[in-house]
């Protein structure tokens, strides 16, 4: 359920973080950075398992949908986000969701905030699920085949994240000491070339370095996971990394004249393509006339005076 209260001032806790509601739930001001959130949660042996630039605010990460490879083990922003408060284009404060998993009757405006790029609203607060902070991280390297992930998923060796490059398949395992010991003893028996133990900090930084694309523009393609290798070959990509479990391929930089050819290749394989410009907080994606009309109607409802971020095709 959600409500619009023009005269209501949102509660923003001191320091931007509050644990009033539940041990594994946290309430943040949207202006809190991911780095600040992780530091405070770490004092309680908890963490927010989300990928994204730690210097960006949680509001920015939700609006950009910074979801990355960790969603294999912990879910995406749409799974972690329980509630949100945001200002629409008229300045009204809209409260959506709550502090529990079953908290919505009707349209879920909390999920509506994920990935909308500030077009429909500006986040003020977010309520998220949290998890116990992993004590140990393992990195297992396998031959560069996406099919290996499919084979691991229904077993005791399901990873918390998996990234495919042209040279290797990297699988990350996060948990307590008992979990790490179990995986170390058995991963080579299911095809791992080597298994390395490391800290959670090292795991976060390594995954970020692989998944972050700092050169613009960034091409993000979604294809069926089993078609990742076929897509990369047909699109003749050289600098790329793929979320092997979900079929997301990132490549940058990509010459502007190559984007249409890559889009056509993705479409032929049942996929979609988005072009983003991280430093400009701008993105472009393909939409049909029907989809555009629907999005424009939503824009008119939430931002009738166009005070928020513009629609991509009107930037």
Tell me the fold of 2-132.
3.30.465
Cβ-contact 225, 242 below 8 angstroms: no
The answer, yes or no, to whether residue 296 has pLDDT greater than 70, is yes
Considering the domain 212-280, what is its CATH architecture?
A: 2-Layer Sandwich (3.30)
pLDDT for 100 equals: 56
Return the structure tokens found at 256. Answer: 């502007």
pLDDT for 279 equals: 59
- Which has the minimum average pLDDT: 5-9, 81-85, 99-103, 218-222? 5-9
pLDDT tens per residue, range 241-295: 999 999 999 998 788 888 899 999 999 999 999 887 665 556 666 677 898 999 9
**pLDDT-based confidence at 116, cuts 50/70/90?**
very high
Does this model's pTM top 0.95? My answer is no
Return the DSSP state at 245.
T
pLDDT tens per residue, range 61-76: 999 899 999 999 999 9
pLDDT for 3 equals: 47
Average pLDDT over residues 28-33: 97
The answer, yes or no, to whether residue 105 has pLDDT greater than 80, is no
Q: From residue 63, how far is each of 52, 56, 59, 86, 273 by CA, in Å?
A: 12, 11, 6, 11, 19
The answer, yes or no, to whether residue 227 has pLDDT greater than 80, is yes
pLDDT for 217 equals: 78
Is the CATH code 1.20.120 the one for domain 136-210? no
The answer, yes or no, to whether residue 6 has pLDDT greater than 50, is no
Residue with tokens 């116990």: 132
Residue with tokens 């908290």: 103
The answer, yes or no, to whether residue 10 has pLDDT greater than 60, is no
The answer, yes or no, to whether residue 15 has pLDDT greater than 80, is no
Residue range(s) of every CATH 3.30.70.120 domain in the chain = 212-280
pLDDT for 130 equals: 96
Residue range(s) of every CATH 3.30.465.10 domain in the chain = 2-132
More confident residue, 298 or 97: 298
Average pLDDT, the chain: 88
pLDDT tens per residue, range 136-161: 999 999 999 999 999 999 999 999 99
**pLDDT-based confidence at 2, cuts 50/70/90?**
very low
pLDDT for 57 equals: 97
pLDDT tens per residue, range 34-57: 999 999 999 999 999 999 999 999
**pLDDT-based confidence at 212, cuts 50/70/90?**
confident
């Amino acid at each position: 359920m959600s409500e619009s209260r023009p005269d209501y001032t949102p509660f923003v806790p001191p320091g931007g973080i509050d644990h009033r509601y539940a041990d594994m739930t946290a309430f943040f001001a949207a202006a809190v950075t991911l780095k600040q959130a992780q530091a405070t949660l770490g004092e309680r042996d908890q963490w927010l398992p989300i990928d994204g630039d730690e210097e960006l605010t949680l509001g920015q990460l939700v609006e950009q949908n910074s979801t990355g490879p960790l969603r294999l083990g912990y879910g995406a922003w749409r799974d972690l986000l329980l509630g949100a408060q945001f200002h629409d284009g008229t300045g009204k404060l809209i409260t959506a969701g709550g502090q529990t998993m079953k908290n919505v009757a009707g349209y879920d405006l909390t999920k509506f905030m994920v990935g909308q790029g500030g077009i429909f609203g500006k986040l003020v607060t977010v309520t998220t699920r949290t998890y116990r902070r992993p004590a140990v991280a393992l990195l297992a390297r396998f031959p560069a085949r996406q099919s290996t992930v499919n084979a691991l998923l229904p077993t005791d060796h399901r990873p918390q994240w998996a990234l495919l490059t042209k040279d290797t398949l990297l699988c990350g395992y996060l948990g307590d000491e008992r979990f790490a010991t179990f995986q170390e003893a058995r991963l080579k028996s299911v095809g791992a070339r080597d298994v390395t133990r490391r800290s959670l900090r090292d795991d976060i930084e390594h995954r970020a370095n692989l998944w972050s694309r700092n050169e613009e523009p960034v091409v993000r393609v979604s294809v069926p996971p089993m078609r990742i290798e076929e897509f990369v070959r047909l699109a003749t990509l050289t600098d790329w990394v793929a979320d092997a479990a979900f079929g997301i391929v990132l490549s940058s930089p990509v010459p502007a004249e190559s984007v249409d050819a890559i889009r056509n290749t993705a479409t032929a394989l049942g996929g979609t393509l988005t072009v983003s410009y991280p430093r400009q907080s701008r993105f472009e994606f393909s939409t049909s006339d029907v989809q555009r009309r629907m999005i424009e109607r939503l824009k008119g409802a939430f931002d009738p005076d166009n005070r928020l971020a513009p629609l991509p095709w009107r930037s």
